[in-house]
A and B are shown apart, each in its own frame.
Chain A
Amino acid sequence: MTTTAVNRTSAPTPVALTKKDFTSDQEVRWCPGCGDYVILATVQGFLPELGIARENVVFVSGIGCSSRFPYYVQTYGMHSIHGRAPAIATGLVTANPDLTVFVATGDGDALSIGGNHLIHAMRRNVNLTILLFNNQIYGLTKGQYSPTSRLGQVTKSSPYGSVDTPFNPISLALGAEATFVARAMESDRAELTAILKAAATHRGTALIEIYQNCPIFNDGAFDAIKDRSQQQARLVRLRADEPVRVGVEDSRQVLVRRPDGSLEFVAEAEADPAAYVIHDPYAADASQAFALSRLDSAEMTHVPMGIFRQVSRPAYDDVVRAQVDGAVESAGGAASDADLAELLRGRDTWTVG
């Protein structure tokens, strides 16, 4: 065996840990009512289930409200600089295969200033679980529009309305060759936990977009899908190998593929089962997952939630280490002083004296 350790599936530590073990002694300093609290509690509650020793877990973040996350988790952590967490985490996990590395980031951090690092981490498929807290606003800098703010959104820096077309983070991730792409709501702890579990056991980059309410600067951004009365008609819960449905009972709709290839929700009673779209997150071809991500709209008429894509592809850091380990092995083991001396001499030497 080479030194390529299996970080995400390493054997559970003998001592069972609890949520408390993953709670640091730092005072949590988000605004009252911030969605980040629920996410923190969910992650702290989920970490013991991973069965990984505390010292082998690292949270790396950038800058923004969500990037305070590492301070509150009793593991190793780095609160780095704006947008760069995916790059730093790539170096960390490649250098140290025993670690399970999470990136905590926000819509500004990941999609604006750090957009380049995010897409490259995903296309490389580095062993990282990226938690993208999407509150559709800049919170830490007090309320400017972000790359996911709605077109026309009035913010401190867009008094006449934002003129920027927003990113759809799921579409972006799929386009960037991500192998695990999911969306969850901060308020749905059970679903978020299930997705976290699937993400953390995935080898390669897992991107989880988490809708997070910012009560101070963008309150109610997700009310349409949080509100119980509207939720049923809008939330599309993606279930593997099942038709894509929305609504309940009489008003239930199902997603069908039209002859021209487009997708459309129609009343289930009238739909032809042969035209049903069956959700397949494991499909090698990402086009259907991409089509599902395009169901989004500013009005939140239909909002898909769950795992869009979950496929397997060699992880970058595994391959990088395998190349090094392979070269070391085929050369007969770690370089000795004599091997180094040979390297220093090179091929063309001469002797004086």
Chain B
Amino acid sequence: MSSKSVHDLDRVVIRFAGDSGDGMQLTGDRFTSDTATLGNDLSTLPNFPAEIRAPQGTLPGVSSFQLHFADHDVLTPGDAPDVLVAMNPAALKANVGDLRRGGIIIANADDFTTRNLAKVGYALNPLTDGSLESYHVHAVPLTATTVEALAEFTGLTRKAKERAKNMFALGLLSWMYNRPTAATQDFLKAKFAKAPEILAANLKALAAGVNYGETTEDFASSYAVGPAPMPAGTYRNITGNTALALGLVAAAHRSGLPLVLGSYPITPASDILHTLSGLKRYGVTTMQAEDEIAGIGMALGASFGGALGVTTTSGPGLALKSETIGLAVSLELPLVIVDVQRGGPSTGLPTKTEQADLLQAMFGRNGESPAAVIAPQTPNDCFAAAVEAVEMATAYRTPVLVLTDGYLANGSEPWLVPAVEDLPRIEPNFATEPNGVDKAGEPAFLPYLRDPDTLARPWAVPGTPGLEHRIGGIEKADVTGEISYEPANHDTMVRLRQAKVDGIAVPDVEVDDPSGAARVLVLGWGSTYGPIAAAVRRVRRAGYAVARTHLRHLNPFPANLGAVLGAYDRVIVPEMNLGQLALLLRARYLVDVRSHTAVRGLPFTTAELAEVLTAAVEELG
């Protein structure tokens, strides 16, 4: 054990930053895993460069990974890091502004060469010129020390040895925050099973990093963050994209329907395609389509054929899928459309987060074309949202859009793994026999004869004898489904489709207002859950009363939403768009909600929202 002193902390925010080739995402991931196993609550935020390979050592090439862990529940990845690991001058320059004053900088001194400094416009070396005086700077020769520690590996080139410097950095941080490294060692063993020398070098670098912290005088003490109280159970750390993929698989399993994904690669949704394509063992079929339109077409075709059709995409891809979503609305078949929102319009900011597809999801189709919309709130909530989307799509024979975003997709947090038997059973209820009679009085299948409760139509799968029927995008006659251009019938059908979606059963919103004295309500949707909850906690601690509620169902809205909005003097709606939910709420409930918006490609900070809420309370006096 360490001979140095150990200080207890209740929370720490660390940001690993380096060139995109420095392996910062992996380092952050590993540190997260090791932290999770210690029982801390945590939240992560990776930040990728938009360019695949920006020039080395430049600002656009900086990749970072932020982790917030604590001995209490964590709601966001944290506003300002306490610790910045900067592998080069670009990483320092791009991130130091976010670091809290008095924070720790661990910089790879070897990379602060005149040339690298000049690349990002540093005239002098910031590690030595005094400009970082308000921080605690550890200038560690990470590269040289790693190479030296690996001297015995004569079979490896210097370049290969240098590449292990991220493991050295991880070892050092693990020492600093008293993290075990066993899980990382196992991870490396699996990853480099076929390259024993590289494996040995990485393990050695990891251990050398730990030893460096232990023996170097530069690091006087280490820190401990105790476990957070969490409900009993088995936990894993999970990203939103993985949770979503697993939710789809679990729902398919509980429904007995084979999962068929039609998808086209697009950032940041592709990881769902990657994950699902590896799960064939669970009966999952994935088809990488020729384009976004074909992706959803394949999914809809699969649904027609009696499978659970799913398509995954991101902003511009959703635009391309619009027409087929309209067809699904008309065919009234189950279909799940996952949109991992990113900065728009057009190509926008592919690797950054935004919530600006809400109105597209609601209305971005021709004609009256209602579809259900669900928005998960946290990375692990993507699992539950996926299950719910499948349930809803199946029960109501309707397309359901799931709106996640880049922040949820790549962010991670601990997840209490649910028991399979606690997941809902989903009944496809396929039609198996005629449900009416034709004009001649013979038994017949009426494809648009609806369930009186849900207004869902029967799902008759091709291959079922006696139920042969034709469906299509042309307006259909009520009940029989035959082509109909009758004015009154069209009016009926438009209203029926709307009534069906309006009638989807969704739970009421719950209001969190512990004092019961709040006059200000803050209402968010989707991924703003964490930042809003953290801000509310902070504002309450300062003595202000603020009520909070969060919308998970955007279409239909919960039945009590209007009453909730009407019960407060001021409703604040923070969104990462220019006020799309606010527009819907004003139109629907005639309540003058106040928008707070930002579209910086990053989640809201707690500080920013706390300020907005404080001002709102103070304004009411």
B294 partner, pick from A55, A116, A350, beta carbons under 8 A:
A116
Given contacts A335-B283, A352-B232, contact A92 B304 (CB under 8 A): yes
Stretch at the interface among A77-85, A216-224, A254-262, A307-315: A77-85
Least distance between A105 CB and chain B CB atoms (Å): 13
Interface centre among A71, A78, A93, A345 (most CB of B within 10 A): A78
Q: Contacts A53-B465, A96-B462 hold; do A340 and B420 have CB atoms under 8 A apart?
A: yes
Q: Which of A143-151, A283-291, A319-327 faces chain B?
A: A319-327
- Which chain A residues lie closer than 8 Å to B291 at the CB level? 116
CB distance from B534 to the nearest CB of A (A): 22
User: A163 on the interface (CB 8 Å rule)?
Assistant: no
Indicate the member of B250, B279, B282 with the most A CB atoms within 10 Å: B282
B298 touches A353 (CB 8 A): no
Q: Mark B278-309, 1 if CB is under 8 A from A, else 0.
A: 01111111010111011001111111111101
* Per-residue interface assignment for chain B, residues 347 to 374, with 1 indicating a CB less than 8 Å from any chain A CB and 0 otherwise: 0000000000000000000000000000
Q: Are B283 and A324 closer than 8 Å at their CB atoms? A: yes
Does chain A have a CB within 8 A of B141?
no
Do A324 and B284 touch across chains, with their CB atoms under 8 A apart? yes
Assuming the contacts A92-B304, A120-B294, asked whether A345 and B283 have C-beta atoms less than 8 A apart, the reply is no
Q: Which of A43-85 contact B (CB under 8 A)?
A: 53-56, 58, 60, 70-71, 74-81, 84
In the complex, the chain A residue whose C-beta lies closest to that of B463 is A98
> Are A335 and B33 touching (Cβ within 8 A)?
no
Within 8 A of A (CB), among B396-423: 417-421
Interfacial chain B residues near A74, Cβ < 8 Å: 468
Chain B interface size band reads: 35 or more
A216 to chain B, nearest CB (A): 20
Partner of B39, one of A24, A323, A335, A352: A352
A212 within 8 A of B: no
**B482 part of interface (Cβ distance < 8 Å):** yes
Tell me, yes or no, whether A91 is within 8 Å of chain B by CB: yes
Interface presence of B562 (CB below 8 A): no
> Bound complex: CA of A153 vs CA of B504, how far in Å?
53
Q: Which residues of A contact B483 (CB under 8 A)?
A: 26, 71
* Most chain A beta-carbon neighbours within 10 Å: one of B39, B234, B306, B466: B234
* A38 interfacial contact with B, CB 8 Å: no
Do B231 and A352 touch across chains, with their CB atoms under 8 A apart? yes
Q: Complex: how many Å from CA A94 to CA B300? A: 12
A98 to B461, CA, bound (A): 11
The distance from the CB of A349 to the nearest CB of chain B, in whole angstroms, is 5
Instruction: Determine whether A331 belongs to the interface, using a CB cutoff of 8 Å to chain B.
Output: yes
A87 and B311 alpha carbons, distance in the complex (Å): 13
Query: Does B522 interact with chain A (Cβ within 8 Å)?
Result: no
Residues of A within 8 Å of B234, CB to CB, are 345, 349-351
A117 at the binding interface (Cβ < 8 Å): yes
Q: What's the Cα separation between A341 and B234 when bound, in Å? A: 11
- Interface centre among A96, A328, A341, by most chain B C-beta atoms within 10 angstroms, is A96
A-B pairs with CB below 8 Å: how many? 215
**Stretch of B323-331, B487-495, B568-576, B579-587 at the chain-chain interface:** B323-331
Instruction: Report Cα–Cα, A87/B327, bound state, in Å.
Output: 14
Q: A26-B482, A345-B236 are in contact. Are A76 and B287 (CB under 8 A)?
A: no
Chain A CB within 10 Å, residue with most, of B258, B297, B307, B482: B297
* Bound complex: CA A328 to CA B281 (Å): 4
Residue of B nearest to A320 (CB): B285
Residues of B within 8 A of A95 (CB): 258, 260, 285, 301-302, 305-307, 309
Interface of A is mostly: helix
| Stretch from B66-74, B470-478, B510-518, B544-552 that touches the partner | B470-478
On chain A, the residues within 8 Å of B281 by CB distance are 327-328, 330-331, 335, 339
Q: Are A55 and B470 neighbours in the complex by a CB distance under 8 Å?
A: no
User: In the assembly, what is the distance between CA of A220 and CA of B70, in Å?
Assistant: 80
- Shortest distance between the CB of B307 and any CB in chain A (Å): 4
B302 close to A75 (CB less than 8 A): no
CB distance B470 to A91 under 8 Å? no
CB distance from B488 to the nearest CB of A (A): 20
Interface size class of A (residues with CB under 8 A): 35 or more
Q: Are A348 and B260 in contact (CB under 8 A)?
A: no
B385 at the interface (CB under 8 A from A): no
Contact of A320 among B287, B293, B463, B472 (CB under 8 A): B287
Q: Does B230 contact A (CB under 8 A)?
A: yes
Contacts of A77 on B, CB cut-off 8 Å? 469-472
Q: Which residue on B lies nearest to A316, using beta carbons?
A: B287
User: Which residues of chain A are within 8 angstroms of B233 by Cβ–Cβ distance?
Assistant: 351-353
Among A75, A323, A343, which residue has its beta carbon within 8 angstroms of that of B468? Answer: A75
Q: Are A335 and B466 in contact (CB under 8 A)?
A: no
Q: Which residue of B300, B305, B418 is within 8 Å of A96 (Cβ)?
A: B305
> Is A91 within 8 A of B309, CB to CB?
yes
> Digit string of B92-108 for contact with A (CB within 8 Å is 1, else 0)?
00000000000000000
For B249, give its contact among A337, A343, A345 (CB under 8 Å): A343
- A330: chain B residues within 8 A (beta carbon): 281
B466: nearest chain-A partner, CB-CB: A55
A340-B253 contact, Cβ under 8 Å, with A87-B297, A96-B306, A348-B183: yes
Bound CA span A125–B419, Å: 41
A353 surroundings in chain B (CB, below 8 A): 230-233
The answer to whether B298 and A55 have CB atoms under 8 Å apart is no
Would A94 and B260 count as touching, CB distance under 8 A? yes
17 contacts between A and B (CB under 8 A): A26-B483, A55-B465, A77-B472, A78-B304, A81-B324, A91-B297, A95-B301, A96-B306, A117-B290, A320-B287, A335-B282, A343-B279, A348-B183, A348-B236, A350-B37, A350-B39, A353-B233
Known: A92-B462, A328-B280, A349-B417. 18 other contacts (CB 8 A): A53-B465, A55-B463, A60-B301, A71-B472, A78-B301, A78-B470, A79-B470, A90-B287, A92-B305, A95-B307, A324-B284, A326-B280, A334-B283, A343-B246, A344-B417, A345-B234, A349-B235, A351-B232
Residues on A facing B (Cβ under 8 Å): 24-26, 53-56, 58, 60, 70-71, 74-81, 84, 87-96, 98-99, 116-117, 120, 320-321, 323-324, 326-328, 330-331, 334-335, 337-341, 343-346, 348-353
List 4 A-B pairs, minimum CB-CB distance, nearest first: A353-B232, A91-B301, A79-B472, A87-B297
